[in-house]
Amino acid sequence: MGARTGAQFLQRIREHPRDLWHRGERVEDPTTHPAFARGLRSMARLYDLQWERADECLYDSPSSGEKVGLSFLIPRSAEDVQRVSRMMKIWADVHFGFMGRTPDYLNRAITYYASGADFLGEKEPAFAEHMRRYYEYLRENDLCLTHTLIHPQANRAVGPSKQADPYLAARVVKETDGGIVIRGARMLATLPAVDEIMVFPSTLLRNTEEDAPYCYAVGIPCDTPGLRFLCRETLDYGRSPFDHPLGSRFDEIDAVVIFHDVFVPWERVFIYRDVERANQAYAATGAIVGMAHQVVVKNIAKTEFFLGLASLIVDAIGIEGFQHVQEKVAEIWIYLETMKALLRAAEADAHEDAFGAFRPAWPPLDAARNLYMRWYPRIVEIIQQLSASGIIATVTEEDMKNPELIEDIRRYFQAARAEAYDRIPLFRLAWDAALSAFAGRQVQYERFYFGDPVRIAGVIFQKHDRTPYMEKVREFLKQMKEEAFAQAEEARP
Ligand SMILES: Cc1cc2nc3c(=O)[nH]c(=O)nc-3n(C[C@H](O)[C@H](O)[C@H](O)COP(=O)(O)OP(=O)(O)OC[C@H]3O[C@@H](n4cnc5c(N)ncnc54)[C@H](O)[C@@H]3O)c2cc1C
């Protein structure tokens, strides 16, 4: 098949009904259900766009010769890394970074998993082959993935094997000639209404030997029997896209995933009861680098949006002369330039890995993803501070169209440099970006979706080599000591 169009993306979802629940109701067809439909349509738009800009978004499949999505490309040069980056920016600019699970995010993960598949096959060579075939299947059919990596939040003082209920966290309960059976739950899966789900180990958390039944990686269709998705309530309230400009377009939905004895055939198993591989897979294959690369590109698009939004607010209500206002806008600009510089550094230092694929350099990407977890809530706060009551004092599309209200609205909702009918959409957008339920979920997403910021910082502490800098200071300390003792020696009578 090769790269899909938006219509093909939606059609496949319709043809594969899954056990998907929203507000106590089983959702038969997410493409027409009000909680999911508009978010999926935004996703479909990206599939159309890849054909509209085929030169920048598609490449020739090495196996079928069909055009396939560039986010499946295994980079063989630094230029390839940049090509993928440009393609990801084309997509991110459509949703301004508000969709975290556009297909390129997990395509980058699965692509590096495939290129580094030898790592998965070190103990059991078949697993490497399973991964390569799965990647090829996804690429050739342009399928869209969700993923779930984390055990349910019941008792975080102990790991999955020590929970009161050993089947709370999804674990292997049975092994047969044909495959394995999984029972329990995982959280979360953002964008549950798509084609396939990766049920993989965490990028961050480390397992012990007794966690072995929880240490596996599988990829299965979302309509696999026994697989259930329990969704949070939608943030698309079915209201006009004018009133809810972001929530009505970009809500992806998040779900807890429940495995009611889900059978997974061996050809879809990539890690099995293997603590060592589970703990190292994301780093060893480069999958985490591929994901972080996409994330930084997406976050640049998002920060560009917020810099534009902040600047328009400042201009509209004439607050540009105040120094603290300038400082706040400058702060967003600094975040943007830092993100761009880190992306550029990562791409400039792209290098060939042990499997022959090119990876962007990890330290700048790692710095960028860690910074953004902390900066994003601040960016949102700046929009709140600059807008003040303006973000609250907005009316709806119905008010604006009501002849009885038009005159009042024109008069009392005007701004220094925007008439009311231009000012209101601006502040509705600010509200949905910085204050609405959609905005709140975005903050929580940016803080946590890549893992707990506290423990990620712990990994930076443990893994990034600081010895050259310690050496530098040690050298100076030595010099200080030598100078002090030399002076003491000289002073001695
Ligand atoms: C909007 C959203 C979307 C998401 N989408 C996905 C997705 O698509 N796929 C997916 O797999 N995951 C997803 N996640 C889950 C994400 O991976 C987790 O939120 C993240 O890994 C943190 O885990 P947790 O939420 O279970 O927090 P917890 O681990 O329960 O942490 C709760 C609090 O306790 C602290 N804490 C807990 N344990 C420790 C410890 N050992 N040491 C120090 N502090 C600790 C944490 O710092 C935190 O403050 C999503 C999360 C959000 C919020």
State the Cα torsion 277-278-284-285 to the nearest 10°. 100
DSSP class of 223? T
Length of the chain as a residue count: 493
Cα 393 to ligand 1 centroid, rounded to whole Å: 35
The residue type of 45 is R
Whether residue 459 has its Cβ less than 6 Å from ligand 1 = no
Task: Give pLDDT, residue 492.
Answer: 80
Task: Give pLDDT, residue 436.
Answer: 98
Ligand 1 atom 21, closest CA: 451
Whether residue 298 has its Cβ less than 6 Å from ligand 1 = no
Contact (CB, 8 A) for 22 and 35: yes
Contact (CB, 8 A) for 255 and 189: yes
Taking CA atoms, 348 is separated from 81, 101, 112, 345, 482, in Å, by: 9, 26, 19, 5, 41
pLDDT in tens, the chain (493 residues): 899 999 999 999 999 999 999 999 999 999 999 999 999 999 999 999 999 999 999 999 999 999 999 999 999 999 999 999 999 999 999 999 999 999 999 999 999 999 999 999 999 999 999 999 999 999 999 999 999 999 999 999 999 999 999 999 999 999 999 999 999 999 999 999 999 999 999 988 889 999 999 999 999 999 999 999 999 999 999 999 999 999 999 999 999 999 999 999 999 999 999 999 999 999 999 999 999 999 999 999 999 999 999 999 999 999 999 999 999 999 999 999 999 999 999 999 999 999 999 999 999 999 999 999 999 999 999 999 999 999 999 999 999 999 999 999 999 999 999 999 999 999 999 999 999 999 999 999 999 999 999 999 999 999 999 999 999 999 999 999 999 999 888 888 7
Task: Give pLDDT, residue 491.
Answer: 83
DSSP assignment of 404-462 equals HHHHHHHHHS-BTTB-HHHHHHHHHHHHHHHTSHHHHHHHHHHHHTTS-HHHHHHHHHH
The burial class, CB within 10 Å (0-12 / 13-18 / 19+), for 283 is middle
Partner residues linked to 20 by β-bridges:
229
Which residues 6+ apart lie within 8 Å of 405 measured at CB? 395, 399
Full set of structural domains in the chain with CATH: 287-468 (1.20.140.10)
Q: Which two tokens stand for residue 347?
A: 């791409």
Whether residue 189 has its Cβ less than 6 Å from ligand 1 = yes
First-to-final CA distance of the chain: 91
Cα 119 to ligand 1 centroid, rounded to whole Å: 27
Contact (CB, 8 A) for 214 and 171: yes
Measure the CA–CA gap between 445 and 435, rounded to whole angstroms.
14
Cα 476 to ligand 1 centroid, rounded to whole Å: 41
Q: Among the atoms of ligand 1, which is closest to the Cα of residue 453?
A: 47
The residue type of 233 is E
Whether residue 153 has its Cβ less than 6 Å from ligand 1 = yes
For a ligand 1 pocket test, name from 449, 454, 459, 462 the mutation site with the most ligand atoms within 8 angstroms of its C-beta: 449
The burial class, CB within 10 Å (0-12 / 13-18 / 19+), for 436 is buried
Ligand 1 atom 49, closest CA: 452
Angle at 73 between CA 72 and CA 75, to 5 degrees: 145
Measure the CA–CA gap between 492 and 488, rounded to whole angstroms.
6
Taking CA atoms, 49 is separated from 76, 89, 90, 290, 481, in Å, by: 25, 12, 9, 22, 65
Place of tokens 């994901």: 291
Taking CA atoms, 178 is separated from 43, 268, 269, 320, 341, in Å, by: 35, 11, 11, 67, 49
β-strands 67-69, 58-60: how paired? antiparallel
